[in-house]
Copies of this chain bind each other. A is one copy, B any other.
Amino acid sequence: MPVGTQATVKAVTPKILEELEAEIILSNTYHLYLRPGHELINEAGGLHKFMNWNKPILTDSGGFQVFSLADLRKISEEGVEFQSHLDGSYHFFTPEKVMEIENNLGADIIMAFDICSPYPCSYEDANRDLEITLKWAKRCKAAHQREDQALFGIIQGGMYEDLRLRSVEEMVAMDFPGYGIGGLSVGEPKHLMYEVLDVLNPVMPKHKPRYLMGVGSPDCLVEGVMRGVDMFDCVLPTRIARNGTAMTSQGRVVVRNAAYQRDFTPLDPKCDCYTCQNFTRAYLRHLIKAEEILSSILITIHNIRFLINLMKKIREAIWEDRLPEFRQSFFEEYGYKEHL
C-alpha cells in the first residue's frame, strides 16, 4: 500500500491515488502524533476526513519510528520514553497511549505497539524484544476501544526460527483479525528475510491477512506472495520517484542518467499509467534536471501504478493457479540482480 507519512502520500493528491486504483494507504502514527497531533485530527473528524481519503487507511503503531527516528530515553516493560526528532520534546508511549492515538486517528486497520528488533541482533535481545512485544499486544487488545477498527498483532523474533515460531503461537492465541510480520527489511540480506517467511508461512493462520511491514520492491513483492504474504507497505516507490528513479517491468530506470536525454519512449512501454501514456523519458529527465516538482509527481504516479498492476497480475496468477510460472517470467524480464 502507498505510504502517507504526514497524512499524505507524498507528491500526489487523493484524487490521483483513486485514479491509480490504490485501495488502502498507510499513515504513520508517530509522525501524526507529533504533528499535527491526534487530537487535532480527531477534531477534524478523523484521518479519512482530514486528508480526504475515503477508502481504507492503516496506521502503524509508531514503534518503528520511535526506535529509528526519535532520541530514545528509556525502554521498560511499561513503555518507551523518547524525545521528538522535531523539537526534542519528551513523550511516553505505552500500549494504552498508542491505542488512544490510533483510536483518535480512526484508521480501518491499526497495529499493536511493538518493539522491532534491529539487524543484527543477539538472541538474548531479540528474545527480550519479543517478550515485551507479546505483553504489549495483550495490553493493546485490552485497551482498544473501537470495534470498527481491526487491530493487528505483529510477529517479531528477529532472524531466530524458534522465537518467530513462539511469536506466532502466542499472537495467534490472542486471536487478532490479522497479523503484521515485523522486524524484516531492517538491513538483513534478502535471503534471510525469505528464510524467516518460509518459517512463518506454514504456521500462520491461513484465513487471516498477513502483512509484511516495510517491504515494497517488486522482487520482494513477488517472493513475499510466494511465501504467503497478502499485504505490503513501503516508502520505496514514492521515495525513489522523488529521486528520479522509476520501477519498470525491466528493472529500475534511473531517469536522471544522460542516456535518456533524447529517449522519446515512455518509462515502461507496458504501463497504462498517465505518465507512461503521455510523457517520455527525455521529458521526465528534463524535469529532474530542472528540479521541477512535476518530475516527482509523474514518477510517483508511475511507480505506484506499477506496483498496483504488479499485485493485480499476481492475484490473477493465483486465481489461475500459475504463480510459480508468473514468478519465473517476471524475473526473466525484471532481472535477478536485485533478487538476492
Contact = CB atoms under 8 A, between A and B. Distances in A.
A52 B286 contact: no
Contact of A294 (B12, B44, B283, B298): B12
A289 B36 CA distance: 9
Given A13-B294, A262-B43, A293-B293, A278 B8 contact: no
Contacts of A294: 8, 10-13
A296 interface: yes
Max chain B Cβ within 10 angstroms of own Cβ: one of A15, A261, A296, A297: A297
A40 B280 CA distance: 12
Contact of A261 (B11, B40, B280): B40
Max chain B Cβ within 10 angstroms of own Cβ: one of A35, A287, A289, A290: A290
Interface string A259-280: 0011010000000001000111
Count this chain's copies in the assembly.
2
A289 B52 contact: no
Contacts of A297: 11-13, 293, 297
Given A44-B280, A282-B40, A283-B44, A293 B10 contact: yes
A12 to B, nearest CB: 7
B12 A282 contact: no
A285 B6 CA distance: 12
